[in-house]
Amino acid sequence: MNKIVTILGARPQFVKAAVLSRIINKHKDVEEVIVHTGQHYDANMSDIFFEEMDIPKPKYNLAINGMGHGAMTGQMLIEIEGVLTKENPDLVVVYGDTNSTLAGALAAKKMNIKIVHIEAGLRSYNMKMPEEINRILTDRISDLLLCPTETAIENLQKEGYKNLPAKMVKCGDIMKDAVEYYSKISEEKSSIISHLSLIPNEFVLATIHRQENTDDLEKLKEIFEGLALISKEKQVVLPLHPRTKAILAAHQLTHDLKIIDPVGYFDMLTLLKKCNLVVTDSGGLQKEAFFNKKHCIIAREETEWVELVTNGFAKIVGSNKEKMFKTFNDFQNSEADFEMDLFGENVGEKIYEEIIKLL
């Protein structure tokens, strides 16, 4: 039986990988070994996380975190190489753009093991983003580039990938499958709306965590002033990242927002489903807003998910508070065709079929 090793390092990657794992288990003709690098330490990722979400538990947990980018990536490379030597897989699967993604791809390449990159071809064209560096380097050494959108394919073609031996396939966004699967479960598991005494469609869901915002005090102030303006119209619920929380506390920045601790995936899906719209600097949440038929205000200077902007589902406002507030008001009076097929259907099955062809 063929064997694949899947390298994961953050909760969103586990959620996406669960889609493919279920399909692999259904077909029963490939053995999957899951490796968790430990990159994003998450107290919520206990045994109950894997049980409730029907996610296979990792065979290996490398517990590598709390380091700088170079040290973390280097340590992961060493540890993953040891795992690959022991498991001797036919190919390695990596997701997205974390340090774990790059380390997994590098370890595999050095050992002449085939690499599948899921979410290939995404570009922000901002080389100050660690994620941009990770995704570019991972794409370059991968054998199978599974792209979520036509834009991702075009990005790779512009970079000359048609002249390289790697195979490019537009398969859609696997997160769409995950949201559809877990959305039904979240309705039974989450009570966060009643717990927080929220009124459906009368609150805005916000997340702010990117270093480009949290490490720039003027940007951070402007973003929170924009959220404060919105909060005069609708309550703003902000699951606050620990890094952002520490910076706000250090500089005594306070606003009339409903700040809560980070929430689990079921609670986040419920908040997405019941909110009025989303304000975020997260790449993944932009798509999840779309999947839940919500407009999105992007607190960044660029986005990898340009289809959301060009089709009017999202708007980039950077850290401009006036632009943020105006966009909020504009979205209150606008309608959009959220049934538009931007990210494919049955994505997990398509990905599985492409992987089988590579074995």
How many CB atoms lie under 10 A from the CB of residue 189?
16
Catalytic, out of 36, 117, 209, 295: 209
* Active-site residue flag, 209: yes
Sole residue written with tokens 């909110």: 275
Residues whose CB falls within 8 Å of the CB of residue 325, separated by 6 or more in sequence, listed in order = 226, 229, 230
Residues whose CB falls within 8 Å of the CB of residue 42, separated by 6 or more in sequence, listed in order = 10, 11
CA 194 to chain centre: 27
CA dihedral over 126, 129, 133, 139, signed as positive or negative: negative
SS3 145: strand
Q: Measured in Å, how far apart are the chain's first and last C-alpha atoms?
A: 10
Angstrom distance (rounded) from CA 91 to CA 4: 5
Q: Which residues participate in catalysis according to the annotation?
A: 209
